[in-house]
């Protein structure tokens, strides 16, 4: 059944309204109210307040399994450079990752499924706050998402520049890398820059440490292991003629295998402790909670592939693609519940700007693809035939 044009037009307007009023993680008050009001108007049961601004809409049509569909709602601290009529009205904040589109697609899916009800079972529509670096998915899990709303499976998508619009990519294993952030403090002895022998220079130690850390993926891991160690900030010193007492380095580690993640963290900590010592500098590291590998469950990924082939044809479905070294906190939900995460191609005739780019804008042509996919997934996973089978 083709989706009504009026539904898609309405979803496009929702998307543009959300784009114009972006909100950062855990600040999605206006967005959450908008989502909750729409879900109630569709006749769904609505729960709010999980992880602060999270919203869950529940649609039950009869006996059967229970699944969750998740969309992220937060924006990024970026000043928008685009000139669309719906550009951000909030200085320094914009939807540069397409979460406005994800939210609009899931809302439209909830509305359409509530009208058609061609499935038997329960669907939880999960609108998650704070995906961007703040761990909203983890907080929802910690606050009882799967205890309050038990599920047999959970699914999420992300629009993906670099793939043709409407194409779908999914793996039976890792889709996105783990995320760990670190802060390294190197403490030496301050002295006059003209007399370095009287002190212990943490800047020289920092320079050597930055280069040494790059040998971890290059020389301490198998070429078949996937990892990235990036130092992205260095801070130290106040005057050009003074060697500082301390230097701070910050950065991130990304891995595609849990065992590699553990090994890399141990190696980074070892380098920090031992490499500066001969220079009279002490090193200490602090790790910040990150995300695990976004690891799809095989059966759930196979279901995504099956539905995708039925929807758009095998030629538009990419199976077992190269994972991304970017990260996604939906991984925390996949640790707690079987499910799968996939990419929905975003490139039209003109390729999409990259995610997190100040000139990015969600491709509205994807909304129909996304709504149609969620509809087909629900009707495939929760078929009406279950009712007849149970009563036979």
pLDDT on residue 392: 35
Question: What pLDDT score does 390 carry?
Answer: 42
Apex 293 CA angle, 290 and 297, nearest 5: 140
- Give the pLDDT band (50/70/90) at residue 164: very high
CATH level 2 (architecture), domain 178-290: 2-Layer Sandwich (3.30)
Q: Where are the domains of the chain?
A: 5-175+293-382, 178-290
Does the annotation place 97 within a ligand binding site?
A: yes
**What's the pLDDT at 82?**
85
For residue range 109-161, what is the model confidence (pLDDT) as tens digits?
Answer: 999 999 999 999 999 999 999 999 889 999 999 999 999 999 999 999 999 99
Q: What pLDDT, on a 0 to 100 scale, did the predictor assign at position 387?
A: 44
* pLDDT higher than 50, residue 286: yes
Average pLDDT over residues 308-336: 96
DSSP string, 293-307: -EE--HHHHHHHHHH
Summarize the confidence of residues 225-235 as an average pLDDT.
Answer: 96
- To the question of whether residue 158 is assigned a binding role by annotation, the answer is yes
**CA 170/CA 46 separation, integer angstroms:** 30
Q: What is the largest CA-CA distance in the chain?
A: 90
Q: CA-CA distance, 52 to 190, in Å (whole number)?
A: 45
Do the domains at 5-175+293-382 and 178-290 have one common CATH topology?
no
pLDDT given for residue 45 in this prediction: 98
Under the banding of pLDDT at 50, 70 and 90, the label for residue 389 is very low
Residue 30, pLDDT above cutoff 60: yes
d(CA 31, CA 236): 40
Q: What pLDDT, on a 0 to 100 scale, did the predictor assign at position 375?
A: 98
* φ, ψ for residue 235, nearest 5 deg: -135, 130
95 known member of a binding site: no
Mean pLDDT score of the chain = 95
List the structure tokens of 126: 């999960």
Residue 142 annotated as binding site: no
Q: Is the dihedral of CA 58, 59, 61, 63 positive or negative?
A: negative
3-17: average pLDDT: 97
Query: Residue 222: left (phi > 0), alpha (psi -120 to 50), or beta?
Result: beta
The enclosing H or E element of 16 equals: helix 5-20
Local confidence band at 289 (pLDDT 50, 70, 90 cut-offs): confident
Q: CATH number of the domain at 5-175+293-382, out of 3.40.630.10, 3.40.50.300, 1.10.3080.10, 1.10.510.10?
A: 3.40.630.10
pLDDT at 1: 64
Q: Is the pLDDT of residue 92 over 70?
A: yes
Three-state SS sequence of 266-290: HHHHHHHHHCCHHHCCEEEEEEEEE
């Amino acid at each position: 059944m083709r989706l009504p044009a009026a539904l898609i037009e309405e979803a496009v307007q929702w998307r543009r309204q959300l784009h114009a009023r972006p909100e950062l993680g855990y600040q999605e008050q206006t967005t959450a109210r908008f989502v909750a009001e729409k879900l109630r108007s569709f006749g769904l049961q609505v729960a709010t307040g999980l992880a602060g601004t999270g919203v869950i809409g529940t649609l039950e049509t009869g006996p059967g399994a229970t699944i969750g569909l998740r969309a992220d709602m937060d924006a990024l601290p970026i000043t928008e450079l685009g000139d669309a009529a719906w550009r951000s009205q909030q200085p320094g904040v914009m939807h540069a990752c397409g979460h406005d589109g994800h939210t609009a697609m899931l809302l439209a899916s909830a509305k359409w499924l509530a009208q058609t009800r061609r499935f038997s079972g329960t669907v939880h529509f999960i609108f998650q706050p704070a995906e961007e670096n703040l761990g909203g998915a983890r907080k929802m899990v910690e606050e009882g998402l799967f205890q309050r709303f038990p599920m047999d499976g959970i699914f999420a998508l992300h629009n993906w520049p670099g793939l043709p619009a409407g194409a779908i990519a999914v793996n039976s294993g890792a889709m996105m890398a783990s995320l760990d952030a670190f802060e390294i403090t190197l403490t030496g002895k301050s002295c006059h820059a003209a007399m370095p022998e009287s002190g212990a220079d943490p800047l020289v130690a920092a320079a050597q440490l930055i280069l040494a850390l790059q040998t971890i993926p290059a020389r301490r891991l198998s070429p078949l292991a996937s990892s990235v160690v990036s130092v992205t900030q260095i801070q130290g010193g106040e005057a050009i003629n003074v060697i500082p007492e301390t230097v701070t380095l910050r950065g991130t580690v990304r891995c595609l295998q849990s065992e590699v993640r553990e090994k890399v963290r141990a190696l980074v900590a070892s380098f920090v402790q031992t490499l500066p010592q001969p220079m009279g500098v002490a090193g200490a590291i602090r790790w910040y909670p990150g995300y695990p590998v976004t690891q799809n469950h095989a059966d759930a990924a196979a279901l995504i592939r099956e539905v995708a082939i039925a929807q758009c044809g095998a030629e538009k479905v990419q199976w077992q693609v190269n994972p991304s070294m970017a990260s996604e906190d939906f991984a925390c939900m996949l640790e707690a519940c079987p499910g799968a995460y996939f990419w929905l191609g975003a490139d039209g005739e003109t390729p999409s700007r990259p995610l997190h780019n100040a000139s990015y804008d969600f491709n509205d042509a994807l909304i129909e693809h996304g709504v149609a996919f969620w509809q087909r997934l629900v009707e495939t996973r929760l078929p009406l035939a279950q009712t007849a089978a149970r009563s036979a």
